[in-house]
Amino acid sequence: MMEIKCDGRCKDAYCGEGGVIRDHRGHLIFAYSLNLGQGTNNLEEAKTLLYEVEWCVRNEYDYILAESESKLFVDCVNYINFIPWRIHDEVKQLKAHMETTSFILSHYYIEANKVADLLTSLSYNMDRWEMTNFRT
C-alpha cells in the first residue's frame, strides 16, 4: 500500500505543487516540488493528485491511500459534490483509476501534512517546470 499526501495551491497568481509518497510502513518513497505557473488552487490540487496516482500506477503500486487538503476536490472525486469544469478532466481520470486500482481518497487538514505543505512552498522559488525530487 502506498500513502499519498499532496498539496497544490496558488500564491500571487503562480501555482505550485508538492507531494510525498510513502510505503505502508511510512518510509519515504518519493517527494517532489514543482512550479507550474498560473492556475487555480483546485486545478493544482487535482493535477498534483493525478500526478502522484499515475506515478504509483506506473510503478505498479495498486493499493493507494491518498489524502488531499481540498475538501471540495475530495468531494468531487468521491461523487459527493458537483465537479467544476476546470477540474473535470483530472477528476474523470482519477475516477478511472479508482475503478482499476484500490485507490481511496480522503480529506485531511493542512496541519496534518507539513511535509507536502513545505514542498509546495519551495516550488514558488523555482523556475517554471523545474522540479526538485527526492527518492529513496
Range of the domain at 111: 2-135
For the chain, the domain total comes to 1
Has residue 112 got a pLDDT over 60?
A: no
Query: What pLDDT score does 116 carry?
Result: 61
Has residue 136 got a pLDDT over 60?
A: no
Among 55-59, 95-99, 111-115, 127-131, name the one with the lowest average pLDDT.
Answer: 127-131
Q: What is the CATH number of the domain that holds 131?
A: 3.30.420.10
Return phi, psi of residue 123, to 5°: -65, -25
Q: What is the pLDDT of residues 50-108, one digit of tens each?
A: 988 999 999 999 899 998 888 888 999 998 888 888 889 999 999 999 999 888 999 88
Tell me the whole-structure pTM to 2 decimals.
Answer: 0.78
Return phi, psi of residue 24, to 5°: -65, -15
